[in-house]
């Protein structure tokens, strides 16, 4: 993301965070927007009609009510509304064009998408992959993780994080989280380092940036690789700037989702970028297909057809991130009473967050959390979720029991037992959000008696 002086809009999470406050106060200055393709849709509103960024304004950029009956459920993540109708049309047209041209697996859209993403993220090297999981495997391999190594990581993530470590022949070493940020606690890292440790793998949980600068200092001191699992954090300020590499995901359910699984490795290091590019495509020399430079590799490049769709949808990336940030702030404002009386813990409205998920902690614990979730579902027809319901060290496979039977992670386990995720997606309407807010307040009142 190109840096501009004051009065400019870069499209990263810091600038979006600032814009949300300005829109709420009706004090949006005249911005000059970064020319990045990812900013195009939002820059139109900034330049031509700032009022559209306000949910109460005419022609608002926020989703309108889906016109269901009053008692119909508010879904947690409606599959049919991951994209707007216009985004669906663009995706179909772009895919159809790739089919007509016969450029399905390889083609020019891949390089164009990588270049556009690199410009937005202000990193020189982007390798688009066939999934976020593949991006993690490739990034870990590129920093030297191999058979017999150890990788330090948190336990409160999707299985892809640990699976990428296992896929490299390495072993995850689990470390507890910071109680506020809910990401790897740098203060606990050094006690987990052994002669076999090769890398640190922080996760930007729910889109909140981990303390990567703090982890980077430890990694440098001990000669370790540092790879960010940024699969939930596209657009967050700092991603890819302090580490060896970062992995992104474009799964359809992410902030920036495509027609199937896809991802990317981003890095400032030319050697790591070149290694990732070779490993993503069978170990081939990028300039000479079928000629190997590395002994082996994966078939893990993004398809040209998927990259073509990505190019069509990329102009809406920061607009969608703005929508999510505004909705997150609206949740925080509306639930402030629960936080003030100590019955709930809300996430901070922070400038280093992409708001992939919105989690509320029920202060009194798991039993009340589960009761609140059940009541919202049955009484108010509001769906909530508990993402990653089983922590890595609580999985019951022989492999997990062997490595993690005696692992205790007090803060990870405490937060996990209390968190409840509320609906938050690109096309959540304000009327739906109001129903979620009302249902949550009612559920807390009911469980208090």
Q: What is the mean pLDDT of residues 64-81?
A: 85
pLDDT at residue 255 above 60?
A: yes
For 115, phi and psi rounded to 5 degrees? -65, -40
Separation of first and last alpha carbons in the chain = 50
Q: Which of 7-11, 33-37, 129-133, 292-296 has the lowest mean pLDDT?
A: 7-11
Task: Find the angle CA(105)-CA(111)-CA(117) to the nearest 5 degrees.
Answer: 120
pLDDT at residue 317 above 60?
A: yes
- In this prediction the pTM is 0.96
Q: What is the mean pLDDT of residues 28-34?
A: 90
The percentage of residues in the chain with a pLDDT greater than 90, rounded to a whole number, is 92
Structure tokens at 323: 């929508």
Q: What is the mean pLDDT of residues 125-140?
A: 98
Q: What is the mean pLDDT of residues 10-26?
A: 97
Dist CA 61 CA 83 (whole Å): 13
Q: What is the mean pLDDT of residues 244-266?
A: 97
Dist CA 22 CA 29 (whole Å): 8
Q: What is the pLDDT of residue 195?
A: 98
The percentage of residues in the chain with a pLDDT greater than 70, rounded to a whole number, is 97
pLDDT at residue 51 above 60?
A: yes
Tell me the per-residue pLDDT of 150-165, one tens digit each, with 9 for 90 and over: 999 999 999 999 999 9
Instruction: Give me the chain's average pLDDT, please.
Output: 95
Q: What is the pLDDT of residue 70?
A: 66
The SS3 call for residue 83 is: coil
Tell me the per-residue pLDDT of 368-407, one tens digit each, with 9 for 90 and over: 999 999 999 999 999 999 999 999 999 999 999 999 999 9
Tell me the per-residue pLDDT of 173-196, one tens digit each, with 9 for 90 and over: 999 999 999 999 999 999 999 999
Dist CA 192 CA 170 (whole Å): 15
């Amino acid at each position: 993301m190109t840096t501009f002086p004051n009065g400019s809009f870069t499209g990263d999470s810091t600038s979006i965070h600032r814009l949300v406050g300005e829109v709420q106060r009706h004090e949006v200055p005249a911005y000059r927007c970064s020319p990045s393709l990812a900013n195009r849709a939002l820059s139109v509103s900034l330049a031509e009609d700032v009022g559209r960024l306000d949910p109460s304004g005419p022609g608002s950029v926020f989703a309108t009510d889906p016109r269901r009956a009053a008692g119909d459920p508010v879904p947690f993540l409606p599959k049919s509304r991951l994209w707007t109708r216009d985004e669906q049309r663009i995706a179909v047209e772009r895919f159809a064009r790739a089919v007509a041209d016969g450029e399905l697996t390889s083609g020019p859209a891949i390089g164009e998408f990588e270049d556009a993403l690199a410009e937005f993220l202000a990193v020189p090297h982007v390798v688009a992959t066939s999934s976020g999981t593949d991006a993690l495997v490739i990034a870990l391999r590129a920093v030297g993780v191999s058979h017999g190594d150890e990788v330090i990581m948190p336990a409160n993530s999707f299985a892809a994080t640990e699976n990428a470590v296992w896929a490299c022949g390495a072993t995850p070493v689990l470390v507890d989280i910071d109680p506020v940020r809910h990401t790897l606690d740098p203060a606990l890292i050094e006690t987990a380092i052994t002669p076999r440790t090769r890398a640190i793998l922080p996760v930007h949980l729910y889109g909140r940036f981990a303390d990567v600068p703090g982890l980077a200092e430890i990694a440098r001191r001990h000669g370790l690789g540092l790879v960010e699992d940024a699969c939930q954090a596209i657009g967050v300020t700092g991603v890819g700037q302090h580490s060896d590499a970062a992995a992104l995901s474009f799964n359809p359910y992410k902030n920036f989702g495509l027609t199937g699984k896809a991802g990317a490795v981003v890095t400032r290091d030319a050697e790591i970028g070149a290694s990732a590019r070779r490993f993503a495509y069978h170990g081939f020399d990028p300039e000479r297909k079928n000629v190997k430079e590395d002994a082996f590799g994966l078939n893990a490049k993004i398809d040209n057809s998927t990259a073509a769709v990505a190019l069509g949808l990329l102009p809406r990336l920061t607009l969608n991130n703005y929508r999510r940030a505004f909705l997150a702030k609206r949740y925080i404002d509306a639930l402030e009473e629960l936080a003030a009386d100590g019955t709930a813990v809300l996430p901070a409205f922070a400038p280093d967050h992409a708001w992939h998920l919105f989690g509320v902690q029920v202060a009194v614990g798991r039993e009340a959390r589960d009761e609140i979730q059940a009541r919202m579902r049955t009484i108010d027809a509001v769906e909530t979720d508990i993402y990653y319901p089983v922590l890595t060290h609580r999985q019951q496979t022989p492999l997990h029991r062997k490595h993690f039977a005696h692992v205790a992670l007090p803060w990870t386990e405490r937060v996990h037992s209390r968190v409840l995720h509320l609906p938050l997606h690109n096309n959540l309407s304000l009327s739906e959000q109001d129903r979620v807010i009302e249902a949550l307040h009612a559920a807390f009142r009911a469980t208090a008696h």
